[in-house]
Amino acid sequence: MHLKTPRRAAPLSRSVVLLAALAVPLGACSTLDALNPWSGKPEELEVKQDPSTIPVEELYNRGIDALNRQNYGTAVQQFDQIEQNYPYSTWTVNAQLMQGYAEYLRNHYTDAIGVLDRFIQLHPAHRDIAYAYYLRALCYYEQIADIRRDQKATQEAMGALQEVVNRFPDSAYARDARLKIDLARDHLAGKEMEVGRYYQRQRLYTAAIGRFQRVVDDFQTTNHVPEALHRLTEIYLTLGLVDQARKTAAVLGHNYPGSEWYEDSYNDLTRSGEVDQAGNPTTAPQSKPGFFGRVFGTTF
């Protein structure tokens, strides 16, 4: 499955919103020029005109106007021109952040990460630094691939999201990051399950057990755990490890009593003759019951 969430505009600081509002009256001149048949399109004028001759405020407002028109490539160009021609201007700091935002909106995630990394390194105390970390994490999150592909991007996304949580635990960005971390963990567990099922079909049972056991141990909060316990029960029965099958099914029944996977495991044990219709073991356990055995006794 792909975790990519519907696109929504990222929140901006008050200062950035105010600057965007200021862009309206300044951009009006460009709108009037566009009505002149001899003037050409605003974008064409911006390309032809030497950026170093354009006031920094005008370049910034052109970038904001391009964002509002969803012309993200032009927005990136305008914000980059600010940094190139006015490196010491106070406008340049906001332009860097807006350039990263524009790259994110046009799905150029690697470019956006590069811009945001530079912003974070140069301006660690900026008032919008939390947003910069969050936007950077989103760039990784948007690259999470289908479970049939390599999950390096998922690991990177989880690391970037966790950094948001660690640095800004009480922010709205941290709350959303925690939710996305849970979704990413579920995605990783799904990958483990896919590989485990493949090994099980190929009768590579030791490898399959390792994958399913990892889901149980490392991804306990995901919704893949009931199936993982059921698959372990299946494999243990196939290998004749009756006691292990009972214990695993007992844990499944204790934690997920209403799960369809518990019903399947119970039916498998019944068909194999290891439990009777009342749920009682038909043979004695192979060893003294530990915790799992006690749970088994209270479940079946």
pLDDT digits (tens, 9 = 90+) for 209-249: 999 999 999 998 899 999 999 999 999 999 999 999 999 99
How many domains are there within the chain? 1
Classify residue 259: in a domain, yes or no.
yes
Helix (H, G, I), strand (E, B) or coil at 251: helix
Q: Closest Cα partner for 213 from 202, 201, 50, 199? A: 199
Classify residue 291: in a domain, yes or no.
yes
Classify residue 258: in a domain, yes or no.
yes
Q: Cα angle vertex 90, ends 86, 95, to 5°?
A: 70
CB atoms within 10 A of CB 162: 16
CB atoms within 10 A of CB 205: 16
Cβ neighbours for 3, distance < 8 A, ≥ 6 positions apart: 141, 144, 180, 183, 184, 187
Terminal C-alpha separation, the chain: 35
What integer pLDDT is reported at residue 34 of this predicted model? 37
Classify residue 257: in a domain, yes or no.
yes
Classify residue 235: in a domain, yes or no.
yes
Query: Domain of 249?
Result: 224-300
> Quick one: pLDDT band at residue 17, thresholds 50, 70, 90?
very low
Question: Would the pTM of this model clear 0.75, i.e. be above it?
Answer: no
> Quick one: pLDDT band at residue 280, thresholds 50, 70, 90?
low
Classify residue 123: in a domain, yes or no.
no
| Separation between Cα atoms, residue 103 and residue 75, nearest integer Å | 9
* DSSP annotation string for 91-116: HHHHHHHHHHHHHHHTT-HHHHHHHH
Classify residue 270: in a domain, yes or no.
yes
pLDDT at 279 over 70: no
pLDDT at 297 over 80: no
Classify residue 232: in a domain, yes or no.
yes
pLDDT digits (tens, 9 = 90+) for 167-217: 999 999 999 999 999 999 999 999 999 999 999 999 999 999 999 999 999
Cβ neighbours for 198, distance < 8 A, ≥ 6 positions apart: none
